[in-house]
Amino acid sequence: MLKNPAEKYRPFPAINLPDRRWPNNVISKPPIWMSTDLRDGNQALFEPMNAERKMRIFEMLVRIGFKHIEAGFPAASETDFGFIRQLIEENKAGDDVHIEVLTQARPELITRTMESLRGAKNAILHFYNATAPNFREIVFNQGKQGVKAIATESARQIKELAAKQPETNWTFQYSPEVFSGTELDFAKEVVDAVTEVWDANPERKVIINLPATVEMATPNVYADQIEWMHRNLKRRDGIIISLHPHNDRGTAVAAAELGVMAGADRVEGCLFGHGERTGNVDLVTLALNLYSQGVDPGLDFSQINEVARTVEYCTQLPIHPRHPYVGDLVFTAFSGSHQDAIKKGLAARKEGEIWEVPYLPIDPADVGRTYESIIRVNSQSGKGGISYLLEAEYGLALPRRLQVEFSAAVQKVTDDTGKEVSAADIYGIFEREYLTLTEPLEYVSHTLFDENGKQGVKLRIRRFGVEETLTGLGNGPIDALMHALNVPVLVRNYDEHSLGHGADARAVAYVEVAEDGVPGDIFGVGIDPNIITASFKAVIGGANRVAKRHSAADQKARFGGKLAAAK
Ligand SMILES: CC(=O)SCCNC(=O)CCNC(=O)[C@H](O)C(C)(C)COP(=O)(O)OP(=O)(O)OC[C@H]1O[C@@H](n2cnc3c(N)ncnc32)[C@H](O)[C@@H]1OP(=O)(O)O
Ligand SMILES: CC(C)C(=O)C(=O)O
């Protein structure tokens, strides 16, 4: 890279529009959308789509709700020509979709292009020639008048040919290619001349597409350019102003949004931003940005994953995991504080309320994404995410202090492996930590009885693998159990809830226990169809976790019961 880039590059000059109005405007309705996936998108693939892939995209675009679909450049290849014929002959566009095609401003190409559209119900004939100074000089070797004449002669030819195909409802479209690099007064001069030839009027509107063929400046500059054209073009009421931003500077979405604020009526782009170089503007992002502001975009992305998989199949290009709205990771939070806020936001939300869940600009469910993908756990995660997954996937609503305790066990695994853990992995850690401990004590069975107004329990357990029967009396079942067990453990807190419904319902009990004389409470968890059994398992599990803090010899001494007493 150069030490002084000014030796090679110059800044884009500001537009002289001191009374610009667009910054105060708000987009309150969607523009007309035009998908150029099958043209600009298709021309920028390693392998252009074959007819089967093109048809899949076309049919999907119709289902999504596009009414303007640029389906190819029929003069360029037999594949494109044949595809346009197939769309028309098989009536794939129905009554309200306009098939659009592109051609250069060259007589033989225009003739061939018009031929491809024979019999179409609604068609948009789109032609272009570049108007920017470097194209005038380098590509066309023409002065301004010569370049303007290329446009007007083609406009005339198109009008004449269209008159010979009256069965079609025609819309004409012109693009001064590289509008973004064209002097505004010259762009206006050419466009005014073209709309004059076409006699643009409110009854017979034409489309004037103002492409940022190459994105050369900040998006506010494009908005100024659009507002200037919007305010200065002749026959404005007979013109649909269309935008066609490319993403060279990474700001195509912003440019399109500001361009619509500046007076544009229509936006051309591709799904997920396919297209030449860095791509065309991403129509999915634009539409869902509108949706997030409460404006119906008129495009249906309620099954966005399906759209993504189809586009990936047809373009043979992957979608980035961080791509807005659709990427695998965009509704995912790994970090603890994000997970905590999302979990609380989802829990606080009531059906029908305005969406205000932290960190999530829209409800993932609205685009067919599931909540499971929102929270993922790795070493950056905290108790919020871990407990969210356990609750969402396994119905376990851990008490807060248990969340803190258990997150340390998960953190240890994520730190050791450096990897993400799934909900199933987390449940596995939970099982290992709380549900499957059988040393030194293992619950076998119990019966309850009354004795002189006291609660009695007859308990069978295995202690260090040896089965024994114990009895105890107390104020309630847990108190009776503690007397029967006779281990140095105190029960501090108790929580329970049901898991599942109906015949398969089970109870889960969370018991916070302490070891007599030792600081640091610890949890035990039990799950069983019977609520008393669940709580006994939880107490015994808690006692086992207390015991684990000691050496084998100490465990025998403290938890050995009669065995220990006999020694
Ligand atoms: C910004 C965009 O994305 S525009 C769309 C671009 N897409 C495509 O080009 C894909 C389809 N195009 C093609 O397959 C080919 O270009 C074809 C088949 C249409 C034409 O091929 P060729 O006849 O070999 O011409 P090529 O495309 O190389 O163009 C060169 C000539 O066309 C002229 N030309 C290029 N664009 C235009 C235009 N929009 N209007 C008028 N003339 C043009 C050039 O000045 C050049 O003229 P010259 O031969 O007198 O120097
Ligand atoms: C033909 C035009 C609209 C184009 O694709 C561009 O300028 O990028």
For every residue of 236-247, DSSP letters joined together read: GGGEEEEEEEB-
Structural domain count of the chain? 4
Phi first, then psi: give them for residue 454, nearest 5 degrees: -100, 155
Q: Which domain holds residue 36?
A: 31-315
* In the block, residue with structure tokens 């340390």: 408
Average pLDDT of 65-91? 97
395 with 480, same domain?
no
Q: Which residues pair with 212 in a beta bridge?
A: 245
Q: Is 213 in the pocket of ligand 2 (CB under 6 A)?
A: yes
- The candidate with the shortest Cα–Cα distance to 328, out of 342, 315, 344, 312, is 312
Q: Is 40 in the pocket of ligand 1 (CB under 6 A)?
A: yes
Average pLDDT over the chain reads 94
pLDDT of amino acid 412: 92
- Provide the pLDDT confidence category of residue 567 given band limits of 50, 70 and 90: very low
Give nearest CA residue, ligand 2 atom 7. Answer: 213
- Provide the pLDDT confidence category of residue 12 given band limits of 50, 70 and 90: very high
- The candidate with the shortest Cα–Cα distance to 324, out of 221, 250, 223, 214, is 250
Q: Is 177 in the pocket of ligand 2 (CB under 6 A)?
A: yes
280 is in an annotated binding site: yes
404 with 450, same domain?
no
Give nearest CA residue, ligand 2 atom 8. Answer: 213
447 with 408, same domain?
no
pLDDT of amino acid 420: 86
**Domain-embedded: residue 160:** yes
**Domain-embedded: residue 322:** no
446 is in an annotated binding site: no
113 with 70, same domain?
yes
Tens digits of per-residue pLDDT, 496-514? 999 988 888 999 999 999 9
pLDDT of amino acid 372: 54
pLDDT for residue 381 is more than 50: yes
**pTM, full prediction:** 0.80
- The candidate with the shortest Cα–Cα distance to 88, out of 49, 55, 126, 53, is 55
pLDDT for residue 32 is more than 90: yes
Q: Is 128 in the pocket of ligand 2 (CB under 6 A)?
A: yes
Tens digits of per-residue pLDDT, 222-280? 999 999 999 999 999 999 999 999 999 999 999 999 999 999 999 999 999 999 999 99
With 0-12 / 13-18 / 19 or more C-beta atoms within 10 angstroms meaning exposed / middle / buried, residue 464 is middle
**Domain-embedded: residue 49:** yes
**Domain-embedded: residue 372:** no
Is the model more confident about 562 or about 391?
Answer: 391
340 is in an annotated binding site: no
pLDDT for residue 104 is more than 70: yes
For residues 122 and 93, the answer to whether their CB atoms sit within 8 Å is yes
544 is in an annotated binding site: no
What's the ipTM? 0.96
83 with 110, same domain?
yes
* In the block, residue with structure tokens 């693939």: 45
Average pLDDT of 8-13? 96
Average pLDDT of 367-374? 74
153 with 273, same domain?
yes
Q: Is 129 in the pocket of ligand 1 (CB under 6 A)?
A: yes
* Substitution site in 39, 78, 104 for ligand 1 pocket (most atoms within 8 Å of beta carbon): 104
What CATH number corresponds to the domain at position 247? 3.20.20.70
Distance 88 CA to ligand 2 centre (A): 24
pLDDT of amino acid 485: 94
Output the 3-class SS for 145-201: HHHHHHHHHHHHHHHHHHHCCCCCEEEEEEEEECHHHCCHHHHHHHHHHHHHHHCCE
Distance 104 CA to ligand 1 centre (A): 6
Q: Is 175 in the pocket of ligand 2 (CB under 6 A)?
A: yes
Average pLDDT of 185-206? 98
Average pLDDT of 193-197? 98
Any residues with CB less than 8 A from the CB of 499 and at least 6 apart, and which? 394, 395, 396, 505, 506, 507, 508, 527
Region of residue 361 (phi > 0: left; psi between -120 and 50: alpha; otherwise: beta): alpha
pLDDT of amino acid 373: 63
- Provide the pLDDT confidence category of residue 383 given band limits of 50, 70 and 90: confident
pLDDT of amino acid 565: 41
Total length of the chain: 567
68 with 184, same domain?
yes
448 with 355, same domain?
no
Is the model more confident about 388 or about 319?
Answer: 319
**Domain-embedded: residue 3:** no
pLDDT of amino acid 371: 57
pLDDT of amino acid 564: 42
218 with 299, same domain?
yes
pLDDT for residue 56 is more than 80: yes
pLDDT of amino acid 563: 46
Q: Is 422 in the pocket of ligand 1 (CB under 6 A)?
A: no
pLDDT for residue 361 is more than 50: yes
Beta pairing class for 454-463 and 466-474: antiparallel
pLDDT of amino acid 116: 98
What CATH number corresponds to the domain at position 413? 1.10.1220.20
The lowest-confidence range among 99-108, 219-228, 444-453, 501-510 is 501-510
448 with 429, same domain?
no
**Domain-embedded: residue 564:** no
Please count the other Cβ atoms lying within 10 Å of the Cβ belonging to residue 425. 17
- Provide the pLDDT confidence category of residue 566 given band limits of 50, 70 and 90: very low
Strands of the sheet with 489-499, listed across from one edge: 489-499, 506-515, 518-528
For residues 411 and 385, the answer to whether their CB atoms sit within 8 Å is no
**Domain-embedded: residue 326:** no
Region of residue 376 (phi > 0: left; psi between -120 and 50: alpha; otherwise: beta): beta
Q: What percent of the chain clears pLDDT 90, i.e. is strictly above it?
A: 85
Any residues with CB less than 8 A from the CB of 129 and at least 6 apart, and which? 104, 105, 140, 147, 150, 151, 154, 176, 177
pLDDT of amino acid 562: 59
Give nearest CA residue, ligand 1 atom 41. Answer: 105
- Provide the pLDDT confidence category of residue 397 given band limits of 50, 70 and 90: very high
Is the model more confident about 562 or about 326?
Answer: 326
93 with 198, same domain?
yes
Average pLDDT of 390-416? 92
267 with 395, same domain?
no
**Domain-embedded: residue 376:** no
Q: Is 295 in the pocket of ligand 1 (CB under 6 A)?
A: no
pLDDT for residue 449 is more than 70: yes
